[in-house]
Amino acid sequence: MSGLYIICLSGVRERLQFAAMAASVAAVSGSEVHVFLSMNAFPYFVKGHGKEAPAEGEMGHSMAGRNVPPFYQIFEQAVELGDAKIWACSMAMDVMGIQAEAMEDIVAGPLGLTKFLSDAEGAQILTF
């Protein structure tokens, strides 16, 4: 299997920002991209949840004051302009009591970690 598989676990601005940039660049360059959302990254993709993640360091604080497109918007572009699919961790959905309908429209649906890793076999995997 080729393409780029990204696991997003962190709810920190810098990590989400870089994951979104990697997904977007790969998707618009013609690569198949799959993003798996779990742990602290997951809530930002639930309808009604804020989309502004806390900064971890100087770069994150600097991005807040600049005209840097937010990570969520960049993920949207990856889905709309390229071949990117964003998946919600089914375990995180169960733990938080979230149904598929409560996920933002850019989320393709729920997916288990086992299936995600099986699909990613032989491909490049990045974790943020």
| pLDDT confidence of residue 69 | 93
Instruction: Work out the mean pLDDT of the chain and round it to a whole number.
Output: 95
| pLDDT confidence of residue 37 | 98
Q: Is the pLDDT of residue 32 over 90?
A: yes
Measured between alpha carbons, how far is 82 from 97 in angstroms, rounded to an integer?
31
Q: Is the pLDDT of residue 54 over 80?
A: yes
| pLDDT confidence of residue 119 | 97
| pLDDT confidence of residue 1 | 55
Cα three-residue angle 52-55-60, rounded to 5 degrees:
100
**Residue 81 burial by CB count (10 A; 0-12/13-18/19+): exposed, middle or buried?**
exposed
What's the mean pLDDT in 39-53?
95
Enter the pTM of the model.
0.94
What's the mean pLDDT in 22-37?
97
Q: Is the pLDDT of residue 34 over 80?
A: yes
Measured between alpha carbons, how far is 92 from 74 in angstroms, rounded to an integer?
23
Tens digits of per-residue pLDDT, 62-86? Answer: 887 788 999 999 999 999 999 899 9
User: Domain containing 49 — which CATH number?
Assistant: 3.40.1260.10
Query: Quick one: tokens of 120?
Result: 């990613």
Residue with tokens 């032989």: 122
Residue percentage of the chain with pLDDT more than 70: 99
Measured between alpha carbons, how far is 51 from 57 in angstroms, rounded to an integer?
18
Instruction: Please report, as a single letter, which amino acid is at residue 53.
Output: A
Full domain range(s) for residue 87: 3-127
- The count of domains in the chain is 1
Residue percentage of the chain with pLDDT more than 90: 84
